[in-house]
Amino acid sequence: MIDCLFLDSDDQRHFPADDRRVIHSICTDAEPKIRSALPLLPAMIEFAAQTGSRVIPEVGSLGMAVSLDRIIWVVDPHHSGGIAAVAQKHLIAMLAHECHHLTRGWVIEENPQRPYSMLEAVVSEGLATAFQRDITGITPLWGAYPEQASIWVQELLSLQADAPYQHWMFQHPDGRKWIGYKAGTYLADKAFQSTGLTATELVSTPAQEILRMAGVEG
């Protein structure tokens, strides 16, 4: 079950009743398909929605897998069409992406079985992005990798341990966006092609093994 929580005041100032109904409906409708693909998801998932401006500008929202059973979704109420429009266009894909993270253990409250590394970030985000693409049929902006994706992979593999996460995963000073996500999706697709497996079947596969499947030496 996905338990929808709305982090606003009791007067529903930020999430009016109509918006709440839309969000509830989307979560309820999406859950069976996502859960059938990810049977190891926890039985109860807290989905906490809040308004804010720190979102992906092109999308109007931002999802985060905070812990192994909690997702936060930030939505900009001033984005085109408002909360309901953003939810109808992007919420299913976000849920799929973040639920893949929950299953893999790639969450903000660090799981000791999945310690942080840039490689783990790249692979985990790539697998989750491929999963959301494959379950919705829509490739997100951060999943559309360029022809030089293999070069980006080598750049990422050569980084020092203290390389700035924001630069490589979101916005690089040279103007590139989502380098790690795009390179990770490229690696995921290479692994799928070589093994015949899917993002669902590889959800728990270690990052180094994904590299091997993708034909990349880490």
Highest mean pLDDT among 102-111, 117-126, 209-218: 117-126
Query: Can you tell me the mean pLDDT for 151-170?
Result: 93
CA atoms in the 13 A half-sphere facing the CB of 5: 9
Q: Report the helix count and the strand count for the chain, using DSSP H and E.
A: 7, 4
For each of the domains in the chain, give its residue range(s) and CATH number, in order of start: 2-104 (3.30.2010), 118-213 (no CATH)
Which has the higher per-residue pLDDT, 108 or 217? 108
pLDDT averaged over every residue in the chain = 93
91 pLDDT higher than 90: yes
In sequence order, what are the residues at sequence separation of 6 or more whose Cβ sits closer than 8 angstroms to the Cβ of residue 15?
6, 8, 23, 49, 51, 83
pLDDT at 160: 87
* Other CB atoms within 10 A of residue 17 CB: 8
Give the DSSP H or E segment for 29: helix 17-37
pLDDT at 111: 65
Query: Can you tell me the mean pLDDT for 22-44?
Result: 96
Q: How confident is the model at residue 11 (pLDDT cuts 50, 70, 90)?
A: low
174 pLDDT higher than 90: yes
Helix axes 17-37, 118-136, angle to 10 degrees: 100
Q: CA-based angle 153:110:39, to the nearest 5?
A: 85
Express as a percent the part of the chain with pLDDT over 90.
Answer: 87
Express as a percent the part of the chain with pLDDT over 70.
Answer: 94
Query: Can you tell me the mean pLDDT for 74-102?
Result: 96
Burial class from Cβ neighbours inside 10 Å (0-12, 13-18, 19+) for residue 24 reads: middle
Which segment of 105-109, 130-134, 183-187, 203-207 scores lowest on mean pLDDT? 105-109
Give the DSSP H or E segment for 61: strand 61-67
Instruction: Answer whether 18's CB lies under 8 Å from 24's CB.
Output: no
Query: Can you tell me the mean pLDDT for 76-82?
Result: 94
